[in-house]
Every structure is written in structure tokens, then in C-alpha cells.
Amino acid sequence: MSCAGAAAAPCLWRLRPGARRSLSAYGKRIIVRFRSSGMTLDNINRAVVDRIIRVDHAGEYGANRIYAGQMAVLGRTSVGPVIQKMWDQEKDHLKKFSELMVTFRVRPTVLMPFWNVLGFALGAGTALLGKEGAMACTVAVEESIAHHYNNQIRKLMEEDPEKYEELLQVIKKFRDEELEHHDTGLEHDAELAPAYAVLKSVIQAGCKVAIYLSERL
């Protein structure tokens, strides 16, 4: 969340030399094989991969909007550089999932306009509570995303860990960076936010709804 994120694996999805890409007008099947992976557009579980990429793209987009809202309020304060660093990683995460959407021909969720507005409003609204409010939001969101990524990792491991090795690498890396953001929030007084426990619970409930809807719509 992320989605820094994609930099560690810039060539994960590059075509193998000699991989076939049949684009003829005769309706031949298109076969694309990804570098050092058993994944092709024909042998993956499309329902699983579509759902994972769609919801992760939506989640990283929402995270970017949250940090944009926080920076609009706190960008010129002492905590601005801390928020900017986390936002820069989220930009990398979003870029990677945008690329994967093209690679695997996954459509975005129809709820993108809502996440655009709601994400910015959540970021700005919690930032208006002060640095502690913004960091409480970060802790709540990043904890939810890390849990969500762990669920996806378990699912792909059950499916075929060798076939989905490269996708697993991406998700694991982004999961670890989300946990770093979570810890950064705690280090910057998230727990001192007004009604921290209530605020965290409400935000995480919203995250669960957003994940559920973005996987399906």
C-alpha cells in the first residue's frame, strides 16, 4: 500500500525472450509467459487474480488519497516529511498494481470515484485532529491492509506458490512496507489521538467494507 515498492523487482513481469504473443487477426489464442514464472494468461486462476489485483489497486489508490488529504493539512508542519515519505511508497505501490492491471487485463473497481473523495476526506479529516489524528488513521489503515495482504498470501500459497511466486513477492514486499508505516504511526504518537480506540475501530470497519466491495464491484 503502498503501495521504494516496485523498485526491488522492476522486471518481474517482463516477457521472456521468445515468449509468444499471438495477435493475428485469425483469432489465435494469445499466450503470454512471464519471466521466471509459470504464470500465463491461460493457466492462472483468473477469478482469484482478478479479485486480488482489483482490490489491491483500489486499496493503494485509496491510501494515496488519504496521504494526499493529510499532506493538504499537515504538509508544512514538522510531520510533513514523515507523511511524504510514506506517501511516496504508496505511489510506487499504486504504480505497480496499475501495471499489473494492464498485464492481466483486470478492470478497476467501479467505486474508484468514491474512494477518490472518501480517501481524501478521511486523510484531511483525521489530520484536522492534529498529527496524532493523522497517525492514528495511518495505524488503522495500514494494519487493515497488512492483514488483508496476509490473507491474499495464504490464498496464493494454497493455490500454487511456484506459479504465483512473483505476485507473492510483490504482495509480501508491500505488506512489509505497510507494516513499517503502521509502526511509524505508533512512533509519532498515534495512540495519543482523541478517542484513539474508537477512531481506529471506525476506520478499520470502513476498510473492511471497502475491501469487500472493491473485490466484487
Identify the H or E element spanning 216: helix 196-216
- For residue range 178-190, list pLDDT tens digits in order: 999 999 999 999 9
Residue 138 lies in a domain: yes
The pLDDT confidence band at residue 162, using thresholds 50, 70 and 90, is: confident
Rounded Cα gap, residues 7 and 4, in angstroms? 5
Range of the domain at 148: 44-215
132 labelled binding-site residue: no
Residue 36 lies in a domain: no
Residue 194 lies in a domain: yes
Residue 182 lies in a domain: yes
Percentage, residues of the chain above pLDDT 70: 81
181 labelled binding-site residue: yes
Residue 150 lies in a domain: yes
Decide which of 41 and 167 is more confident.
167
Nearest to 83 by CA among 119, 137, 145: 137
Residue 19 lies in a domain: no
> Is the CA virtual torsion 56, 186, 135, 86 positive or negative?
negative
Residue 205 lies in a domain: yes
Identify the H or E element spanning 29: none
CB 94, CB 3: distance < 8 Å: yes
Rounded Cα gap, residues 121 and 118, in angstroms? 5
**pTM exceeding the 0.85 threshold for the entire prediction:** no
- For residue range 138-158, list pLDDT tens digits in order: 999 999 999 999 999 999 999
165 labelled binding-site residue: no
pLDDT for 39 equals: 64
- Considering its fold, how many domains does the chain have in total? 1
The domain that holds 72 is classified in CATH as 1.20.910
Residue 14 lies in a domain: no
Q: Is the pLDDT of residue 119 over 90?
A: yes
